[in-house]
Amino acid sequence: MTEERVQLAIQPLDKTASVTPGTPFLEIARQLGVPLNLPCGGEGHCGKCRIRVVHGTAPTTQADLRHLSREEIAEGHRLACQLVVTSPLVVIIPPEALATGHHQILTSRGELRLRKGTPPFYKHLITRLDTSEARSLVDRIHRQTGAQPLTFSAIAELARYAHTEHTLTALVAEKSIVGFEPGDTRERNFGLAFDLGTTTLVASLVDVNAATPIAVAARLNPQTQFGDDVISRIQFACERPDGLQQLQHAVCQALNDLAQTVIRDAGISRNEIYQAACAGNTTMQHLLCGFHPFSLGRYPFTPVTLGSVSCQARDIGLELHPECHLYVFPAIGGFVGGDTVAGVLTSGLLEGETPALLVDLGTNGEIVVYDGQNLHAAATAAGPAFEGAKISSGMRATQGAIEHVWRDEGGELRYRVIGNQRPTGMCGSALLDLLAILLDAGIIDPQGRLTGCNARPEIAGSLGCGPLCERIVVHEGRPAFLVVPGEETSSGQPILLTQQDVRQLQLAIGAIRAGTEILLGRLGLSASDVQAVYLAGGFGNYIRRRHAQRVGLLPSAIPTARIRFCGNTSLFGAELALVSAEARRHAEELARMVQHVDLSADPDFRWKFAEAMIFPEQSLIHPEADRA
């Protein structure tokens, strides 16, 4: 008996599929390679994956009713993640529902420069390879290189070359010879460094001999289709038999694509990549290695390993030199990973004034405090809000995102859009700008309430908000701030900051602030003692320092000159691991030395968190901050 099938067409991507009735649209989209925007991992919580059914009948779900108006539902709008295909359908996916386009991804190392040490991988020239002597070839190789032992494949290559080549180049990785190349190839020694971010991936091709990066490429992490945060991905791995396999395959394929890009740009071959190194948070490193993250999703959030991992790159699916070695950074705790170790190693935290803070503001928020002797670290669940998750008009830093907001001399609101096009939403840096502006104007009070001052025009003058007060509107029965009217946006929908958005930002900022205060308290310090702040991570390097202080994200008493942008320290740490065995050993020592603090188990966290959600008064901000 022939199985019943129905046809699905996806426009404007020109994708079609013949599917069994009852198949989830999300499953079909993943099979077709359609990159949907799914911050909540397809749970129906965020409402960011709106599509339109233009032909056929689509049932309405409870999630549709929560996120869509009656008019939108009548026009065929549905949430892609909740749609089940039961009959022939033609759907249109608007640009804002796709995780595509140019993303603003941090690849800069700031002012950091690679310091060459003893390379973990190097080449040794073998001469006078004469088969007329009775002594074994392996013995003569040992005498010339001092390296022990030879791998099986290296011995096989030696046997193949010995009768035709008088000069060979030995490939030496961690005191073992892993292969040979005919002739003298010592000048060709390349490695790949990866920043394994929750949201973005970056690859850097390094000339190991010169200790110089020569090509870089970046892209969105395809695992975002399974959820924006690590908890969503852990859940996906645990709930589906092939979940871990899908997650690992997605990231490995993306890293291979990045590798191909930088290799092509540099004009070299895959077979000239002899080593790779990567740094990411603990969950991302587990997923790359294929370690099941089950224990990371349950208290006490136990990792499979905190130590570094060294393996053959091919064992996890990376397509480089057959004997390429992969080094994965050691981690500190369940949610404080190798990217934080790389940050401590490279940011300057250990060499500068103390007490000092390292704050990594990416999808996750990690904090490290150093008092000159002790290192304490913690992770906070702050990042998703800064990436636009759970924010009504929030989005990642991609084309169409408002990246900065300011007031002109007349008090009018101005903004800049990534890609110089009609805006679609706001990314984290713009949200922080807007929050600071509205706090200064009194439109948002220290408790985070939108005042709704246009309903009471008699107080507008006393607030000093001028034209901003005219932007207060009512949205779903509550005050909201109109950033861009619908007629000026790409989607036709207005871009708003709602009261619920402010609450979400308060939660994210409060988590970072409370975590910072607890770590400082563990060392007998307060925020006023901090002498320097090092900002790392994608989001952290795009924010305005004064605005970060105004909303309470960073200590308000410190001059902005002492808040330093470090660039992508995760990538820089991985690059350093390619050119310096000493850096790898230092990373291992740091990972063991840092005291991991589980904020969820700290008895003071709850009240510190509640206190930290109150925005600071303008009078508390250091006067120099106004110029940043």
Q: Which residue from 364, 253, 340, 333 is spatially nearest to 595, judged by alpha carbons? A: 333
In the 8-state DSSP scheme, what is residue 98? B
pLDDT at 134: 58
CATH code given to domain 190-328: 3.30.420.480
Q: Where are the beta strands (DSSP E) in 58-188?
A: 77-79, 84-85, 89-92, 121-126, 168-173, 176-182
407: how many CB neighbours lie within 10 A of its CB?
Answer: 17
Q: Which CATH superfamily is domain 6-97 in?
A: Beta-grasp domain (3.10.20.30)
CA distance 438 to 415: 14
Establish whether domains 190-328 and 352-384+505-627 are of one fold.
yes
Kindly write down the DSSP assignment for every residue of 214-245, as one continuous string.
EEEEEEE-GGGGG-SSHHHHHHHHHHSTTHHH
Q: Tell me the chain's radius of gyration from C-alpha atoms.
A: 27
| Percentage of the chain modeled with pLDDT above 70 | 91
pTM flag (> 0.75): yes
Q: Is 108 exposed, middle or buried (0-12, 13-18, 19+ CB in 10 A)?
A: middle
Decide if 564 contacts 103 (C-beta within 8 A). no
Residue 458: which pLDDT band, with cuts at 50, 70 and 90?
A: very low
Supply 597's token pair.
């603090």
Give the residue from 256, 255, 613 showing the smallest Cα distance to 447: 613
What confidence category does residue 463 fall into, taking pLDDT thresholds of 50, 70 and 90?
A: very low
The tokens for 276 are 């790779």
pLDDT band at 113 (very low <50, low <70, confident <90, very high): low
Q: Which position has the higher pLDDT, 343 or 147?
A: 343
Q: pLDDT tens digits for 186-221?
A: 999 999 999 999 988 999 999 999 999 999 999 989
- pLDDT of 584 reads 95
At 452, is the pLDDT very low, low, confident or very high (cuts 50, 70, 90)?
Answer: low
**What's the pLDDT tens digit per position in 252-265?**
999 999 999 999 99
Assess contact for 460 and 357: CB atoms under 8 A: no
Alpha-carbon span 441 to 435, nearest angstrom: 10
125 forms bridges with which residues in the sheet? 169
In the structure, how many helices (H) and strands (E) does the chain have?
17, 28
At 282-293, the pLDDT tens digits run 999 999 999 999
Residue with tokens 């046809």: 7
Torsion of CA 235, 238, 243, 248, to 10 degrees: 80
The ranges assigned to domains in the chain are 6-97, 121-182, 190-328, 352-384+505-627
Task: State how far the Cα of 425 lies from the Cα of 476, in Å rounded to an integer.
Answer: 19
Instruction: Dump pLDDT digits (tens) for 34-54.
Output: 888 887 778 888 888 888 988
Annotation: CATH topology of 352-384+505-627: Nucleotidyltransferase; domain 5 (3.30.420)
Please report which confidence band the pLDDT of residue 453 belongs to, taking 50, 70 and 90 as the band edges.
Answer: low
